[in-house]
Structure 1
Amino acid sequence: MTLNSRLIVFVAVLASLLEIIDTSIVNVAIPTIMGNLGATLEDASMIVTGYTVANAIVLPASAWLGERIGRRNYYLGCIIVFTTTSAACGLAPNLSSLIVFRILQGLAGGALLPTSQALIFEQFPKEKAGMAGAIFGMSVMIGPTLGPVLGGYLTDEYGWRSIFNINLPIGLLTLFVGMTCIQNRTDSESARKSNLDMYGLILLILGVGCLQFLLERGQADDWFSSKIITTCAIVSFIAIFLFIWWELKVKEPIINIKLFTNPIVLGGVLLMACLGFFLYGIVFVLPVFLNNIFHYTATQIGVLFIPGSLLTAILMPFVGKSVQKISDPRFLIVIGLICVELCLYSMTYFSPFTSQNELLGMLFIRGIAMAFLFIPINSSILSQFSGYELGQVAGLMNLFRQVGGSMGIALIDTLLSRNIDINYLNLISKISLLNVNVQDVYNSTANNLAVKFNSSIGMAENTNAALKNLYQRVQTQAFTLSFLQLVVIMMFIFSLSFIPLMLVKIKKKVKPVDSH
């Protein structure tokens, strides 16, 4: 590997880490930001929602923008904007300015993942692409794990502004190294001379932006009982329909919709949507379980995820080499899909008595699944394309992974909330002090509490505490039942991912690349 090749990997890894860590690092600091800026939870959540929506808008158009502006200028420009807006977020005097800077940061960050992916795939020779993708994947897998842990530590020790300020030195280093090694593609001149597809760009922004906002805010705003959510749903549906119609009609489209007529593209983006559903779904629902049942903090949850992520990082180089040696990489994808089902199946045995070893075992299975899915899926799809089409397909796969993840989180959040209410009502209808078993639990708890504290202290009484304890037990049971029901539903939904795998027909020799 030449020095220039090593520098490209280094820049791609740092740029991707900047974007990925920033997606999750803010979540931990939201309560602190609320208190510091005097904001409500609904207002403060726009810090996350604005970034995600802006990110989703740019992903599918990143290839077109890179070709039109020039990949070097576009990539380095996005690093500059991302770093500058990160510093601006750290200096934001109020919530409104912070949200604006986060949206700008999301617009710049949306280009970093697909462009980094395309850079590595295009500039490395075939015999080096697998290892480069594996190294890149190792770093990318660490990002989501580091986010909550790093965010919790920085917020506690240095304040919430430090989670943005830390991007400044890393961003400057990425920029300076990138200026020495990133070059434009030699066949991109025709794209720069093409006309701007203004109508397509507007429809894309409306369609993807409203869809992402709908998925991010749906459950919080009670879905279609909210006028904003209903309006977003209508606008998104109409805009996406018109976007598809327009892109098929116009001579120089911003996204080549005809790519979807290729079964390998259709199967690839659907596989990435399923992968996003599992990846983001587990990252969302497992912390909720750990917080409700075991009262883990965000930092403790992040630490728990680290061993599984390290396993994924360790396995990726071996999976990358296997992709080159095996005749059909879909076999590796099948192994990954089976591991996902095993991971979800192991979660059906979770309860308040689940040990940490059982939790780690599930996360190790998840780590194996991620290693066998990220590189093989992208290798199977992206190795079939080159040049401008490669960048477009990479952007679409990243978009579908994110939209699939957002759909998964929205579905999980909605089903979990509603099932908790239903299960609670079913359980509470069977709880009565006239029931002998309930009486035994109540009297035993009251007697134990009477020994532990004096009823004359404050307003506390052992009988009231026993009733509260009974209520908390019912709440815990309702949550546990809802969680287990949800995992079964997730197992069924993810089993459908075997269908798009059948569409993936390998025509060229596969060259391993990373998922991001």
Structure 2
Amino acid sequence: MEQVPSLVEYGFRRAFITLIAIICSLLSVIGMSGAAVAFSDIRGNFGVSLDEVSWVITAYSLANIIIIPSSSWLSRQFGRRNYFAIAVMLFTVCSFFCGNATGIRELIIFRFLQGLGGGGMLVLSHTIITESWPLKKRATSQAFFILGMLAGAALAPPFGGYIVDNYSWPYIFFANIPVGIIVCLLILTCVRNGSYEKKEDWLDTMMLTIGTSSLYLVLARGQQEDWFNSLFIIFLSQVGLTGVILFAWRQLRSTSPGQTGFLWNVNLRAGLILSFIAAFGVAGSSIIMASSPGFGIELPVNPLWLTIRVLIVMLPAAAVLMEKGRIQKYVIATGMLLFAVYSYMLYRTASGDVSPVYMFWLIMIRSLAVALLSVSVSTLALSKLEGKQIGQGVALYNVMRQLGGAVGIALFSIYADRQAALRRMDVANQLKQISPGVKQRLSDLMAAKGVDSSMINDKAYALMHANALKPATAYSPDLFILFVGIVCLVCIPFVLYFVKNWTEKDDDR
């Protein structure tokens, strides 16, 4: 690897770079999901369907997936400070245009451009904070970065809801502007413009970009396109799998670690797989938790502040544990075990008979698991990377994390739809067996309400059908979260056997 001046920072410069990374990761994550809260307002303003307005999120995420693999190359071409500032300015300027959009197509276009800036912000902030801390403190640098990401994920819904309730949906985007300007000035002042050699394997970058973006579109649009009954989805699946497989083959074909490929690193490979699994579980379980019967129970403490407090305590604790000798694999295994416990507890809420204390511990264990897994897996993936490989490893880690989340949401949607379809068939069979007397009483009720005589029977049937479906549609995908917990348990022995600590050598490929 080429010799370059050390990019490790000290004192106030490191503190400001850490602050910049936290703010940028928070902005990027809020930018991705904060707009979802305003879907109803955007639909009403532009008069569009839910499918059309869903592109507001899809366009941003797709742009993230496209730009992240190229960010390492772009930072070497322009210098990391220059490219970082360009990404923040693009995100900020496009936030202004998103807020002033006059139609859904215009909004989607500027959301895509905003996503290019947001993706660059995310990966550059992750790369620069990793490079600015010494190798022995790598877990600490990851804890600070993860703090921004998880805080953004926790704050996005209440932030978006507050803006929509008290102002209007364009202010969700306008709120980024002053913060973006301040961050851009801090970057130009505090971040060094260091760079590595500009040599880059463009074929690998293109294959990864095309492959991952195609797979993301399959996952994001598969439900609307009826999955593999659509030629569009089949084509994207073939392109995506081909690109990812060829990228992995080219990276793993080198005969020694000193050659071009860097996926020979055991910890990097393990970290990428675990980041995919963790994101898969967190994304799927988050949707299930939000729809569970116990989610609306009033708790003794605010769930948002409970989550943030746990993160503030556990992220540095996880960093300290990861930097302690030979126990890194046990920290990851503990995180997996806690997530499996959380999955089982969430599975039990399907009965609807849960107490505030139960929900308190459910949120507590989930927060502990996410904090441990986020820091430990990120540290594991980047633990033995140096120089320009840090940027490449960060890009792969963030791509796998986003794809894992997309897979979790897609599988949850498939399972929920299948369960709903089976329930509808069961309800239809049960309705056929309802006594004529019950049907007649419902018909009389409809007639008393002034329903047209030609539609009485249809209205009565629809009312019975809706009431019968309520218990199922309230919470159907319970087995999905149990499956997530089983996956976490299965991963534990593999983590204990295959994951290497920092002091161990990567002598096996």
Smaller-chain TM-score bracket: 0.7 to 0.9
Letter in 2 for 1:311: V
Structure 1 295/393 Cα, relative in aligned 2: closer, same or farther at 3 Å?
A: closer
Higher RCO structure, 1 or 2 (CA under 8 Å, sep 6+): 1
> Counterpart of 1:283?
286
Q: CA deviation at 1:334?
A: 1.1
Which sits farther off after the overlay, 479-488 or 370-379? 479-488
Could you report, residue by residue, the CA deviation over 1:290-329 in whole angstroms, capped at 9, with x for unpaired residues? 4xx58969xx9xx745523431232212222222235321
Q: Partner of 1:505: helix, strand, or coil?
A: coil
Which of 74, 87, 90 lines up with 1:81 in the alignment? 90
Structure 2: where are the runs of 5+ without partners? 1-9
Contact 2:337/2:492 (CA < 8 Å) preserved in 1?
Answer: no
- 1:15 corresponds to 2:9: no
Structure 1 pair 354–468 and aligned structure 2 pair: CA distance change class (3 A): farther
Q: 2:117 aligns with which of 99, 104, 108?
A: 108
The aligned counterpart of 1:57 is: 66
Structure 1 residue 331 and structure 2 residue 334: aligned?
no
The answer to whether residue 500 in structure 2 is matched with residue 488 in structure 1 is no
Match of 2:501 in 1: 506
8 Å Cα contact 1:139/1:313 also seen in 2: no
Residues 170 and 428 of structure 1: CA distance in aligned 2, closer, same or farther (over 3 Å): same
1:421 is matched with 421
Shift in Å at residue 244 of structure 1?
A: 4.9
CA RMSD after TM alignment: 3.4
- Structure 1 residue 272: deviation in Å? 0.3
Q: 1:246 to 1:134 in 2, by over 3 A?
A: closer
Provide the C-alpha distance between the structure 1 equivalents of 2:268 and 2:137, rounded to a whole number of angstroms.
Answer: 24
2:384 aligned residue: 384
Aligned equivalent of 1:48, options 38, 48, 57? 57
* Offset, 1:130: 4.6
Distance 1:467 1:310, change over 3 A: farther
* Residue of structure 1 in register with 2:465 after alignment: 471
Deviates more, 1:113-122 or 1:413-422: 113-122
Equivalent position SS for 1:110: helix
Distance in 1, Cα, partners of 2:192 & 2:161: 37
Percent of residue pairs bearing the same amino acid type: 27
Selected match of 2:271 from 263, 268, 272: 268
Partner of 1:145: 154
Confirm or deny: 8 A CA contact 2:204 2:250 kept in the other structure. yes
Tell me the CA shift for residue 26 of structure 1: 0.9
- Cα distance in 2 for partners of 1:325, 1:470 equals 61
Residue of 207, 231, 235 corresponding to 2:235 = 231
1:83-117 deviation per Cα after TM superposition (whole angstroms, max 9, x unaligned): 11111111122211211111111112112223222
Output the CA distance in 2 between the equivalents of 1:361 and 1:463: 48
Aligned position for 2:33: 24
2:208 is the alignment partner of 1:204? yes
Is the CA contact 1:207–1:239 (under 8 Å) kept in the aligned structure 2? Answer: yes
Q: SS state of the match for residue 258, structure 1?
A: coil
Describe the shift of the 1:118–1:182 C-alpha distance in structure 2 as closer, same or farther (beyond 3 A). same
| Contact map agreement 1:305 1:363 (CA 8 A) in 2 | no
**Matches of 1:25 and 1:473 in 2, distance apart?**
33
In structure 1, distance between residues paired with 2:482 and 2:294: 21
What amino acid is the match of 2:241?
Answer: F
Q: 1:270 and 1:148 mapped to 2: Cα distance?
A: 28
Query: Measured at CA, do residues 428 and 488 of structure 1 come closer, stay the same or move farther in structure 2, by a change above 3 Å?
Result: farther
Distance in 2 of aligned mates of 1:306 and 1:417: 33
Query: What is the CA deviation profile of residues 149-207 of structure 1, one whole-angstrom value per residue up to 9, with x for unaligned ones?
Result: 1111112222111111110001011111111111133xx34x22x2x655444433322
1:247–1:65 Cα change, 3 Å: farther
1:321 aligns with 320
Could you say which residue in structure 1 is the equivalent of 2:405? 405
Alignment of 1:179-190 (within 5 A): 179-185=188-194, 188-189=195-196
1:215 aligns with 2:219: yes
Q: Whole-Å Cα distance in 1 between the matches of residues 294 and 318 of structure 2?
A: 35
Structure 1 position 416, deviation (Å): 1.0
Checking the alignment, whether the CA contact within 8 Å between 1:61 and 1:392 is kept in structure 2 is no
Once the two structures are overlaid, the 10-residue window that deviates more, 25-34 or 1-10, is: 1-10
Note closer, same or farther for the CA distance 1:5–1:49 as it changes in structure 2 (3 Å cut).
Answer: same
1:333-387 Cα offsets, whole Å, 9 max, x none, are 1111011000110112113443444333212111010121111222233121111
Q: Which amino acid aligns with 1:20?
A: V
* Structure 1 residues 499 and 36: CA distance shift in structure 2, 3 A: farther
Q: Give yes or no for contact 1:423–1:482 (8 Å, CA) kept in 2.
A: no
Give the conservation status (yes or no) of the 8 Å contact 2:208–2:244.
yes
Residues 431 and 312 (structure 1), Cα distance of their counterparts in 2 relative to 1, 3 Å cut = farther
**Partner Cα separation in structure 1 for residue 145 and residue 412 of structure 2:** 30
CA distance in 1, matches of 2:106, 2:136: 47
State the partner residue of 2:4: none
Q: 1:217 to 1:325 in 2, by over 3 A?
A: same
- Alpha-carbon spacing, 1:150–1:411, altered in 2? closer, same or farther (3 Å): same
Matches within 5 A, 1:435-454: none
| CA–CA distance in structure 2, aligned partners of residues 464 and 295 of structure 1 | 35
1:455-506 superposed Cα distances (whole Å, 9 cap, x missing partner): 8555499999997665344313333673222222222333343365233212
Stretch moving more, 213-222 or 454-463: 454-463
TM-score normalized by the length of structure 2: 0.85
Amino acid at match of 2:315: M
Q: Give yes or no for contact 2:252–2:264 (8 Å, CA) kept in 1.
A: no
CA distance in 2, matches of 1:221, 1:391: 35
* DSSP 3-state at the match of 1:111: helix
